[in-house]
Chain A
Amino acid sequence: MELLIIPLLFALIALFVPKQFLRYYALIGGLVSTAVAVGHVVTYVPADLYVSVFDPNWASTFGLTYKMGYDGISLIMIVLTNLVTFLILLSNFNGTLASNRMFTSMVFFMQVGLLGVFLSMDGLLFYVFWEISLIPVFLIFLWFGAPGRKADLIKFFIYTFVGSLAMLFALMMLKVGGSGFEGAASFSWEDLMKVQLGTTSALWVMGGFFLAFAVKIPLFPFHGWQPETYVKSPMAGTMLLSALMLKMALYGMMRWMLPMAPEAIESYTMPVVVLGTIGVIYAAILAIRQKNIKRTFAFASISHVGLIAAGIVVMSYDAMTGAVIQMVNHSLVAVGLFLAAEVIDRRLGTNEYENLGGIAKQAPRFAFWFGAIVFAGISIPLTSGFIGEFLLIRGVYFYDMTWGILIGTTLILACVYTFRAYQLSMNGPSKNFNFPDLTWNETAVFFVLMVLIVFIGVYPQMIVEVIEPSLKTLLDNIHSSQNIAH
């Protein structure tokens, strides 16, 4: 429970901290919550279903149980959330937003929402946190975003909200029951899993979950909100969105979509793999053609997550492991890439390629760290991306060769757009500007990111050991209920 309460307290107190101390306060908050989360990993003992952290056992005919808990998968996401929040605050340490109370508070509130999503073991509670986490990021976008954002704000909110409503539909159906099946006794994860859906209702339920997650990931035809939102959000908002918020959706696919309606998995696997593949290639082509570095990375993000989604639905143990590792990797790389874009934006006030070039000569340290992140982004061996993407592509390949090969092109396409971004901004003749090198806090963020990326790349066991029992239980549960259905 302290996992959730600590950030909440930090969020509330942040509204009253004097401005000159706010940035230190923010860092302390990030560090403390990260430390607590790491403590949970160290003491983690795999439990039967999950480790319960909150179970008030309130009798309610309505069925909302408020159950919270974590297993290995959620635990990894929780550590990731806290760590990335800390890094976001650290990278902002010298920025103008660092002394803004609302901003600091909203980042912590976002953390609360995300942790709630990862901790919820109750369907409706999950939905509530899912929606709550939308509010802080929306407000950050609204208050601190780039000019001309109003239409994008509404588009972003409505896209995600309509998606969430579809999930609400699925949850209601599971709980209430319908033609040919009994509803669940309560909203708790165990109870919802026990529901034996009919063929049609399973399609409805999974469709509802899928729509919610597909919008947030975002998968190919549902990505309309994403590029403009990423580009016009302040850097911290973009990082929260790409590094954390879309992980909510991928995590949701594992925890809620697949176990809830296993009867319908087979009908959904192929479409999701196809959509993921289309997204990978389509977004990569768009990323290659962009004129703005932040926009390139926004499309790069769509391209990367398509692969993770495809890997999750093929439902093999290896691909799932790869998905979790790649989720971690994608967060770290996204923070790195968007920070690089922000570093340029802070110093030059522009992100257009035509105004950039030759930065490497003036800022060698930045060139080094940006280069390192770029290599992590294209998943060369010894980085975490290699492990994740390799397992994912392998999983999709064994499911269907053609699509496996097609989705594997991500490795080549990623090289093209990330190298192009690096080349056009860092190399070439120097334009007429003065580019100060990285400050200590920016360097620190890059350093932490690279250490983690390389460490996971060399020793992925660190993550695998935590998630292995939970993943196996999860897959066993899904397979056994699939067998009952047949």
Chain B
Amino acid sequence: MTALIILFITALLSLFIAFTKKPWMVLTVASAGLIASATALICESKCANMLQFEGLEFTSFAIFYGVIAMIFAFLILLTAYSSFKETPEHTGDYIGLLLFSLCGALIMFAFTDMFMFFLGLEILSIPVYVMAGSRKSDLRSSEASLKYFLTGAFSTGVVLFGIAWVYGGTGSFKLAEINTAIMAQETASPLVYVGMLMIMASFLFKIGATPFHFWSPDVYDGSPVVVTGFMATIVKLAGFGAFLKMFSMAFGSLHDFWAPALGFIAVITMFVGNLSAIKQIRFKRLLAYSSIAHVGYALLTLVIQSPDSPFNLMAYLFAYGFSIIALVTVSLILNDEEDQISSFKGLARRNPYVGFVAVVALLSMAGIPPLMGFFGKYLVFAEAIGEQPWLVAIALLNSGIGVYYYLRIVILTVQKPEEGSPVVSKHKVPALQWFVLAVCAAAILFGGNMLIF
């Protein structure tokens, strides 16, 4: 609870400090706030006399997921700083919105009843709608914002409706009570099933699973690249965390009912994501489709209900997030207006360091050992192989398809420039982005061993 309050105050502060028009001050305050908040969050399990609130419960699940979200948010702040400070008067807005959204994410990891869940969802989403449209003069950014907002508002309606149905069937908003109510009934009330499916659909929308994925390529593509990174890491982490939490705590006893449906959705999500990504020429669109594919893999942790699921899911998204942040940073450094994949051409020759991190991040996403992405994938797949060998076989096949488009960029990156191609000058790498790349590369290269101990 303390962590949430600190975070909220930091967000407010950064809005006000922006009046000084000194971007570095905003960044310092926000970073300090994030670190303080993370410390408070870690304290939650160890210290006595922490603030308590019935609706939010900071279990180890919430703490782990929360800390990871904060690490990601911190890295995104650092990497985005160079583009934020171009408009000093708005730096506070951007950073404030980002932190508000993070508050929502924290709530989504810690909720114990449907009210708090809904609050978290809204606090998470609304700042992202605004951030998606933050490049006001850019038509595509506005389109992304509007599209995300409309579809998001619709899915919010669906989830509310679903919560109402579940309330009708069980008479409670609390996860634990819903579960006992379902267990107590001999056959669960049809109201619960309808409500549950509605909630599930809304979750699938939030994480961008097929057939609710249509918004994500357009929104990812249109938003500023930093916001794309934010959506692909923190929003996804929050969506998945809450999904897992609600469906194991409230609807765990109906697992046999919803798991096959989710398994089917996982399979089509993988195929749609991977096959659509093959032909993309714009980098952010490719990231969007590849992230759809990754959602498909990560859904396996929900299909198989085991005590390790939360950890495996976290490991997977952790590994995935570092790759995304590294690639977002590389994309910022490339600074290509058209955002073409071809802007990666010869990157390793021009900026060996940036090129190296890009290659490592891409290979990690493709799941090449011994990088972190491989271990994330391994944990998820190994959990599922005993019960669902076919599902794992399909997922592995999809990893094979995925290699194609990652490899295409890798080849572009490390390729020698062709004769007569226009000379592209060396990109400037700001110190903060250099640092972010170093953190990501270190995590991807050596983090895998950490995951498995």
Spell out A's residues near B (CB within 8 Å): 58, 60-62, 64, 124, 127-128, 131-132, 135, 139, 142-143, 150, 153-154, 157-158, 161-162, 165-166, 168-169, 172-173, 175-179, 183, 204
Contact = CB atoms under 8 A, between A and B. Distances in A.
B386 A178 contact: yes
Interface stretch (B283-291, B397-405, B438-446): B397-405
B452 A142 contact: no
Contacts of B396: 165-166, 168-169
B411 A150 contact: yes
B146 interface: no
B368 interface: yes
Contacts of B393: 169
A135 B411 CA distance: 12
Contacts of B383: 176
16 contacts: A58-B453, A62-B452, A128-B370, A131-B368, A154-B407, A157-B403, A158-B400, A165-B400, A169-B389, A169-B392, A172-B385, A173-B385, A173-B389, A176-B385, A178-B385, A183-B386
A142 B411 contact: yes
Contacts of A132: 369-370
Given A142-B411, A176-B382, A165 B453 contact: no
A158 B396 CA distance: 12
A179 to B, nearest CB: 7
Given A154-B407, A172-B381, 18 more contacts: A62-B453, A64-B452, A127-B369, A128-B369, A128-B370, A143-B414, A154-B404, A154-B408, A154-B411, A161-B403, A165-B399, A168-B378, A172-B378, A173-B389, A175-B382, A176-B385, A178-B386, A178-B389
B416 interface: yes
Interface in B427-453: 452-453
A142 B407 CA distance: 12
A173 B369 CA distance: 18
Contacts of A204: 389
A193 B260 CA distance: 33
Interface residues of B, number: 26
A143 B416 contact: yes
B87 interface: no
A215 to B, nearest CB: 11
A166 B389 CA distance: 12
A444 to B, nearest CB: 31
B52 interface: no
A172 B380 CA distance: 11
Nearest to A127: B369
B370 A139 contact: no
Could you tell me the dominant secondary structure of chain B's interface residues?
helix
B415 interface: yes
A157 B400 CA distance: 10
B453 A60 contact: yes
Contacts of B392: 169, 172
Contacts of B416: 143
A165 B389 contact: no
A178 B400 CA distance: 23
A139 B386 CA distance: 36
B414 A158 contact: no
A139 B407 CA distance: 12
B378 to A, nearest CB: 7
Contacts of A64: 452
Contacts of B389: 169, 173, 178, 204
A154 B416 CA distance: 16
Given A142-B411, A172-B378, A178-B385, A165 B397 contact: yes
Contact of A161 (B382, B400, B452): B400
Contacts of A127: 369
Contacts of A135: 368
B369 A162 contact: no
B369 A177 contact: no
Contacts of B415: 142
A66 B383 CA distance: 21
A153 B411 contact: yes
A378 B47 CA distance: 77
Contacts of A128: 369-370
A58 B453 CA distance: 9
A183 B383 CA distance: 12
Contacts of A62: 452-453
A62 B403 CA distance: 26
Given A169-B385, A175-B382, A162 B407 contact: no
A402 B280 CA distance: 52
B195 to A, nearest CB: 34
Contacts of A158: 400, 403-404, 407
A175 B414 CA distance: 36
Return the 8 tightest CB-CB contacts between A and B, nearest first. Answer: A62-B452, A162-B400, A128-B369, A165-B396, A172-B382, A178-B386, A172-B385, A128-B370
A150 B408 CA distance: 9
Nearest to B308: A61
Interface in B168-220: none
A142 B414 contact: yes
Contacts of A178: 385-386, 389
A284 B304 CA distance: 49
Nearest to A161: B403
Contacts of A166: 396
B385 A162 contact: no
A154 B278 CA distance: 13
